[in-house]
Amino acid sequence: KQEVTQIPAALSVPEGENLVLNCSFTDSAIYNLQWFRQDPGKGLTSLLLIQSSQREQTSGRLNASLDKSSGRSTLYIAASQPGDSATYLCAVYQGAQKLVFGQGTRLTINP
Amino acid sequence: DAGVIQSPRHEVTEMGQEVTLRCKPISGHNSLFWYRQTMMRGLELLIYFNNNVPIDDSGMPEDRFSAKMPNASFSTLKIQPSEPRDSAVYFCASSSSGTTGELFFGEGSRLTVL
């Protein structure tokens, strides 16, 4: 059974810092991996999707990497801003469509 | 596009009552998913449909839960009878299996069963 772990569970950093969120998964036979952002009381917003044949994806200040062989993905946020404060969720695709989620990292950026 | 639309956004009901949650997927998407989110268990997949056909309902907790997708633009998740432990946020999501499979979520329906 696939298990997805996100470390740390919570992170608080001052504004302007670069930071890395970690995601690990137990079964490397994944299809794709997707990073989401969730604001309190809201739904999930897709940030980046990495297909199994890719090693990384970039969108603005965000960069996500994928190493299937080691069962790891990282989300790098450059020059963090208070508006980046949210919970970040990693999810792996078991097969083409079934997503397994981690518990998330709650990020707080302090002005 | 309006995105995935869910209703109601909030529902408060008493134990034993029937609850129906509704979802309209993104137009053109042929896969629809129902998830439940709680503090204790995080996000759990309940059931998903491809082309209106249920593919995997192994996450449905028990027979009190049922889901239907009568057409490509509408799905319901029903709980009958509801219990306090069903209190959670229920999310609907959709994707197009013909592309990368990227999943798009609705805003969720927050259910409180008293």
Q: B5-53 pLDDT, tens per residue?
A: 999 999 999 999 999 999 999 999 999 999 999 988 889 999 999 999 9
What is the torsional sign of CA A37, A99, B61, B17? positive
Give the pLDDT of residue B99.
52
Task: Please tell me which residue of chain B has the smallest CA distance to A103.
Answer: B42
**Residue A64 scores a pLDDT above 90:** yes
- Residue count of chain A: 111
Asked if A49 and B102 come within 8 Å (Cβ–Cβ), the reply is yes
Cβ A106 vs Cβ A39: under 8 Å: no
Asked if B33 and A99 come within 8 Å (Cβ–Cβ), the reply is yes
Q: Is B45 on the interface with A (CB under 8 A)?
A: yes
Rg, C-alpha atoms of chain A: 13
Q: Is A100 helix (H, G, I), strand (E, B) or coil?
A: strand
What is the torsional sign of CA A100, B85, B74, A87? negative
> Taking the CB of residue B109, how many other CB atoms lie within 10 A of it?
22
Condensed to tens digits (0 to 9), the pLDDT of residues A15-60 reads: 999 999 999 999 888 878 999 999 998 889 999 999 888 999 999 9
Q: B89: distance to nearest CA of chain A, Å?
A: 9
Chain position carrying tokens 């670069």: A18
Share of chain A above pLDDT 90, in %: 77
Q: B43: distance to nearest CA of chain A, Å?
A: 6
Separation of first and last alpha carbons in chain A: 41
Asked if B91 and A44 come within 8 Å (Cβ–Cβ), the reply is yes
Give the pLDDT of residue A98.
77
Condensed to tens digits (0 to 9), the pLDDT of residues A75-86 reads: 999 999 999 999
Which one of B102, B110, B112 makes the best mutation probe of the A interface by having the most chain A beta carbons within 10 Å? B102
**Residue B111 scores a pLDDT above 90:** yes
Q: Which amino acid is present at A13? A: V
Condensed to tens digits (0 to 9), the pLDDT of residues B86-106 reads: 999 999 999 986 556 788 999
Using an 8 Å CB-CB cutoff, list chain A residues near B91. 43-44
